[in-house]
């Protein structure tokens, strides 16, 4: 495959990831309106987000193995088709339970975007090309959280939340056609059989009994979940409690994306200086913890616009911490478990997505104000993350 084709393929895969990631929260500013439309409480509407992250948790465990056995192209086509059909079906759904099921199917399709796209890049690129390609893929994952909620806010305001999913299905169909016509099979050494469930269970059992894996995974998962607690409660907090317009609320996600970009830049700078992985992980934990402290103090001493500004700033610090923490944690997990690096990373991501799913659901379940719920579901995981890091930092 020549350079031009590689560049096009990278653009196609980056676009695919943008579409998949954006589907998670493109409609987030419309959640308060959906509560009224479906006559359902906020915790039920939040399951539409939890179902997406839970589907990702399940899918990332297996799609890589399926693509090893049946080929990248076929698995990716099936994933995009599932994503597209389920997105289109949501447009016409009037039952919230059906929408939740369709969101799960939509996310299973998205799990192929996340895993198989990176395996395709590995198939066709050398190490140097992969580093640059992964940088572009990372950029697409940074762009999506900024653009999706803002675009979704305008769509929801002028057309209605269902058109957010119509956009996802239209983009999914466009990419499906492009992949069908233009993407060749890149896996030319397909495995002869799938990994058995027994083999998976043996590997996962060994990982669960490994203190290094569990401490890294726990720190990684609960630190990131503090950000997703904000995702789960923020629309009700900003729009319902603070009376911020949905469009103005969506602009906060530009702040989130800049924070992720800044945190990633800090991580790379410190890594190039030779700072240890343990130090980088600690910096991510400390940044997130400082953000939570600001949330708590702001609620005690501020109100009005000052409170909104400081809570948004605390989110900025939490997301910087996420960006610093994610790459070194994943690298350390793969380094610790070289013989089963794919399974270790997949299991790590699975646990993370399960915890995120639970946090998004339960953050609106407690009978308190959105602000108190936000404090509980950001402070509690960050406190545990801080404690675990302090106890196990010499082993990370």
Annotate 259-284 with DSSP letters as a single string. Answer: HHHHHHHHHHHHHHHT--HHHHHHHH
pLDDT, tens only, 178-209: 999 988 898 888 888 888 889 889 989 999 99
Tokens matching residue 265? 């830049």
- Band of residue 20 on the pLDDT scale cut at 50, 70, 90: very high
Q: Which of 5-9, 33-37, 182-186 comes out lowest in average pLDDT?
A: 5-9
**Residue whose pair of structure tokens reads 């911490």 in the numeric block:** 321
Which position has the token pair 């030319």? 188
pLDDT digits (tens, 9 = 90+) for 285-339: 999 999 999 999 999 999 999 999 999 999 999 999 998 988 888 778 877 887 7
Task: For domain 196-396, give its CATH number from 1.20.1250.20, 3.20.20.120, 3.20.20.80, 1.10.600.10.
Answer: 1.20.1250.20
1-185 folds as Growth Hormone; Chain: A; (1.20.1250)
Q: Is the separation of the CB atoms in 17 and 144 below 8 Å?
A: yes
**CA 101 and chain centroid, separation:** 19
Encoding tokens for residue 357? Answer: 């799913």
Angle of CA points 297, 300, 302, to nearest 5°: 90
CB contact at 8 A, 336 and 230: no
**In angstroms, rounded to a whole number, what is the distance separating the alpha carbons of residues 352 and 213?**
13
- Using CA atoms, how far apart are residues 194 and 200, in angstroms rounded to an integer? 11
Topology match between the domains 1-185 and 196-396? yes
Token pair 């987000």 is at which residue? 49
Q: Is residue 43 classed exposed, middle or buried when 0-12, 13-18 and 19+ CB atoms within 10 A define those classes?
A: middle
pLDDT at 3 over 50: no
Domain range summary for the chain, segments of one domain joined by +: 1-185, 196-396
Q: How far apart are CA 288 and CA 293, in angstroms?
A: 9
Please name which of 250, 226, 75, 245 lies closest in space to residue 150, comparing C-alpha atoms. 250
Retrieve residue 196's tokens: 């058995």
What does the block give as tokens for 14? Answer: 């980056």
Return the pLDDT at 127.
62
Alpha-carbon span 152 to 133, nearest angstrom: 28
What is the distance of C-alpha 99 from the center of its chain?
20
CB neighbourhood size of 160 (10 A): 15
Computed over every residue of the chain, the mean pLDDT equals: 90
Which are the contacts of 177, defined by CB distance < 8 A and separation ≥ 6?
Answer: none
- Per-residue confidence band for 357, with pLDDT thresholds at 50, 70 and 90: very high
The DSSP 8-state label assigned to residue 28 in this structure reads G
Instruction: State residue 192's pLDDT score.
Output: 86
* Lookup: tokens for 86: 């389920």
């Amino acid at each position: 495959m020549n350079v031009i084709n590689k560049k096009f393929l990278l653009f196609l895969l980056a676009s695919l990831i943008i579409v998949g990631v954006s589907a998670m929260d493109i409609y987030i500013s419309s959640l308060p309106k959906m509560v009224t439309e479906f006559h359902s409480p906020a915790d039920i509407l939040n399951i539409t987000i939890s179902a997406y992250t839970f589907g990702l948790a399940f899918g990332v465990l297996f799609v890589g193995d399926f693509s090893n056995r049946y080929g990248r192209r076929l698995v990716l086509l099936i994933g995009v088709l599932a994503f597209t059909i389920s997105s289109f079906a949501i447009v016409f759904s009037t039952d919230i339970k059906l929408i939740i099921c369709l969101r799960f199917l939509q996310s299973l399709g998205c799990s192929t975007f996340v895993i198989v796209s990176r395996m395709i890049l590995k198939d066709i690129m050398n190490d140097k090309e992969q580093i640059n390609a992964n940088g572009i893929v990372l950029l697409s994952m940074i762009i999506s959280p900024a653009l999706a909620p803002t675009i979704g806010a305008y769509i929801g305001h002028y057309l209605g939340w269902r058109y957010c999913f119509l956009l996802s299905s239209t983009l999914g169909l466009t990419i499906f056609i492009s992949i069908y016509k233009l993407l060749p099979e890149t896996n030319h050494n397909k495995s002869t059989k799938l990994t058995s469930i027994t083999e998976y269970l043996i590997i996962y059992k060994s990982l669960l009994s490994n203190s290094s894996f569990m401490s890294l995974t726990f720190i990684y998962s609960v630190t990131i979940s503090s950000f997703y607690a904000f995702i789960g409660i923020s629309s009700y907090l900003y729009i319902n409690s603070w009376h911020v317009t949905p469009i103005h609320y969506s602009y906060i996600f530009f702040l989130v994306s800049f924070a992720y970009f800044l945190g990633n830049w800090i991580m790379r700078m410190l890594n190039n200086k030779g700072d240890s992985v343990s130090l980088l992980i600690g910096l991510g934990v400390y940044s997130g913890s400082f953000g939570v402290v600001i949330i708590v103090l702001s609620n005690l001493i501020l109100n009005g616009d000052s409170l909104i500004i400081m809570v948004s700033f605390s989110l900025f610090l939490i997301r910087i911490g996420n960006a610093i923490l994610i790459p070194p944690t994943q690298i350390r997990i793969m380094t610790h478990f070289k013989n089963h690096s794919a399974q270790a990373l997949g299991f790590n991501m699975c646990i993370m997505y399960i915890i995120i799913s639970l946090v998004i659901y339960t953050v609106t379940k407690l009978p308190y104000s959105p602000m108190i719920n936000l404090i509980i579901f950001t402070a509690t995981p960050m406190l545990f993350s801080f404690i675990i890091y302090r106890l196990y930092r010499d082993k990370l």
